[in-house]
A = this chain, B = another copy of it.
């Protein structure tokens, strides 16, 4: 796909990357609602108009800037054959993200943006929830095959519970301790019923 060969100067992919990078820095340092496009433009060495040429609004920029491969889906679910261990490993990798302060700040910025803006929520669903659900579902289906998951397990509930609880702990600034992860895995596999 040739880039259309239009007249005039070609749009600078470098500028776009600089914008996204500057956005992430701002998000980490100040959070979602203290974001300033003026500051981003200055930091990226870019005119404000260039930002608006790529992204129609602040939330679109944030959606793109945060979600594009820089977040949770980065932590793919491993497949060692031992499902319980794999889920635990996945949660541990999320814990590591949440313990780097920049990671927690980005996640919180994403939560705020998602809660406040419908279009960000849609993008979030496509790019994070759907991907995670896909990976997790695929892994669980293999688990059903090897007998470690029962055939009628409520996959949606599992996915949303796990993602939801992680976001909730980050949102409320509670650490994801080992003990908590163990309890969560235990609950997920065995339930609390007697």
Interface residues of A (CB under 8 A from B): 31-33, 108-109, 111-112, 114-116, 118, 121-122, 124-125, 129, 140, 147-151, 153-154, 156-158, 160-161, 163-169, 171-174, 180, 182-184, 186-194
Residues of chain B with a CB closer than 8 A to A171's CB: 111, 114-115, 121, 167
Q: CA of A158 to CA of B168 in the docked complex: distance in angstroms?
A: 13
As for how many copies of this chain the complex holds, the number is 4
Given contacts A149-B192, A192-B153, contact A161 B164 (CB under 8 A): yes
| B193 touching A129, Cβ below 8 Å | no
A193 proximity list for chain B (CB < 8 A): 148-150, 189-190
Q: Whole-angstrom distance from the CB of A55 to the nearest CB of chain B?
A: 17
How far does the alpha carbon of A194 sit from the alpha carbon of B149 in the complex, in Å?
A: 5
Known: A154-B184, A168-B164. A148 touches B194 (CB 8 A): yes
